[in-house]
Chain A
Amino acid sequence: MNWYLISPQLSLGALALIIVLLDLFLKEKRILGIVSAAGLALPFGFALSLWGHQETILSGMLAVDGFSLFFCFLFLGIAFLTLLYSTDYLPRIPRLHGEYYALILLSTTGFTFLAATGELISIYLALELSSLPLYALVAFLKDEKSTEAGIKYLLLGAIASATLLYGMALMFGLTGRTELSEIAQALAAGGIREPALLLGVVLLIAGFGFKMAAVPFHGWVPDVYEGAPTPITAYISVGSKAAGFAVILRVFYQAFGQPAWLHADWSLTIAVLSAITMTLGNVVAIWQGNIKRLLGYSGIANAGYLMVGLAAASNIGRSGVIFFLVAYTLANLGAFTAIIAISNKIESDLIEDYSGMARRAPALALILALCLISLTGIPPTAGFMAKVYIFSAGIQAGFLWLVIIGVVNSVISAYYYLRVVKVMFLSQPSSEEGVPSSGALRAALAITALGVLLFGVFPYVLLHLAENATLLP
């Protein structure tokens, strides 16, 4: 077989291994961060050279196509930004810096594998590979809140895995295959009309819903977001969500596209869940006083918007989801990067303590405001274009009611996003001290802010890529 086709994933795993080994013999841990960030160029280069391939390997277990490579780039980007903005946070963690870098890289390896899976067992393995390092990372601070978050995440994650496995077992039992394309053929033949099939689909939605942070599988989100180290919160908020959507897009579009009644069933299920998810996320976010919890609920709400594109079950819906994911990733990472710098200085995550931040740190406050505006979906940001695409996909698929709920929700969300902006720009500062930040963190801020503006003004660049990525065999 051709090992070259999974070289991005393999090189990423090897990089993590090298970091573990280097960590044992190096005293200066900062070098590890630099090696990790620079080493990402290797998998990136491999993925770039693979662009345009359309193949499956290991008898269908993994697929190399536009879709998997696009997500590979997305996850590598997320990992790179995470390593950049972690530099300001790491001094707050007393030890184990080498493990921190290695675990992030291992988790990214899992994510990139997950995007390339074409078969149920490898989906499960990749999911575990991506989750296990995250459980450890969430509990990294070892204080009360962080440990509690880690245990919660571990236990609920284990239950979600079990649910997912049960769903997969039902699928395997009904069709006798684990490859998605073979399952699609068995289902398309139309002979299987059993309640167990619907149960299997529902269990799969539950398992993936945990990763996507969709209601009613969102219980872990606020606590884990609040307790985890902030860079890890940022990493989970975008990485885990993108992975969840990547895998559910592939499974549901590729395996459950036929017969029509099954398609209509899961599409409607996801549409209803989507309406509940965005409403609950937005309404509860209004009452949050902690900015990490606020972004947690905003993440739930955004999962709701993303599910509109999933429910639309069309090619435009799919490219809409991908576009939205990129826009959300940029805006959310940008916001979290600013939060890391600010909370490092003021040692608080409460929104009221952000008062007058525009005078203390103009650049940080401006970019945080820009990212929050993008999350709200106001032009000229990427978040606006993302919502336009995803809602138009919803309307084309006949979910007008869902889109109306989505638009109403966007208006609700403006209240709590802009409240943060108001506190930063209109309130009096409590002190005049500036907010220091490292060069790496500023670079991460600049990248996200540029991306948010670039894809807001010239969305066609990204949309073109997203449409290419959705051309599945």
Chain B
Amino acid sequence: MSLLGEFGQIGLFLILVALFTITLVLLPIALRYVGLVPRKPSPAKSSTYECGMQTIGETWIQFNFRYYLYAIGFMLFDILAVFLFPWAVGFRGQLKAFGFIVMGIFFFILVVGLIFAWKKGALEWK
């Protein structure tokens, strides 16, 4: 089958998915207009049900902005881990000493980044 044909199948499914979603969203609205769905709100109905708690204050609270520094620091070691896995698998095969040294250099560069963040106080929660 041609490339376009193969993608065509995906396109077909996309159309199906779109139709399905639109129907599910529009169906209750349409039924309500037809009059099949009654709407009679009461205080008991719209109260928080069973396991819910009454909220205190606004939902739009301010998170500590410093959080992003941890996110960046996490990224650093996330990427290190991503590279470490294939390296560890290939280590016993062909990489040998060369692989060890190269990974050491890579590791060193990341550690410099960590020391930098540490010294600059990015790890303190102030």
Contacts and interface: CB of A to CB of B under 8 A. Distances in A.
Are A and B co-members of a single complex?
yes
In this complex, the interface size class of chain B, counting residues with CB under 8 Å from chain A, is under 10
Interface string B88-126: 000000000000000000000100100110011000000
A153 to B, nearest CB: 20
Interface in A9-26: 17, 20-21, 24
B115 A17 contact: no
Nearest to B116: A20
Contacts of B109: 17
A20 B119 CA distance: 11
Contacts, number: 11
Interface residues of A, number: 4
Contacts of A17: 109, 112
Contacts of A20: 112, 116
Contacts of A21: 112, 115-116
A135 B109 CA distance: 21
Interface centre among B112, B116, B120 (most CB of A within 10 A): B116
Interface string A199-213: 000000000000000
Nearest to A21: B112
A447 to B, nearest CB: 32
Contacts of B119: 24
Contacts of A24: 115-116, 119-120
Contacts of B120: 24
A87 to B, nearest CB: 23
A20 B115 CA distance: 10
Interface string B16-47: 00000000000000000000000000000000
6 contacts: A17-B109, A20-B116, A21-B112, A21-B116, A24-B119, A24-B120
Q: Which 9 pairs show the lowest CB-CB distances between chains A and B?
A: A24-B119, A20-B116, A17-B112, A20-B112, A21-B112, A24-B116, A17-B109, A24-B115, A21-B115
Interface of B: 109, 112, 115-116, 119-120
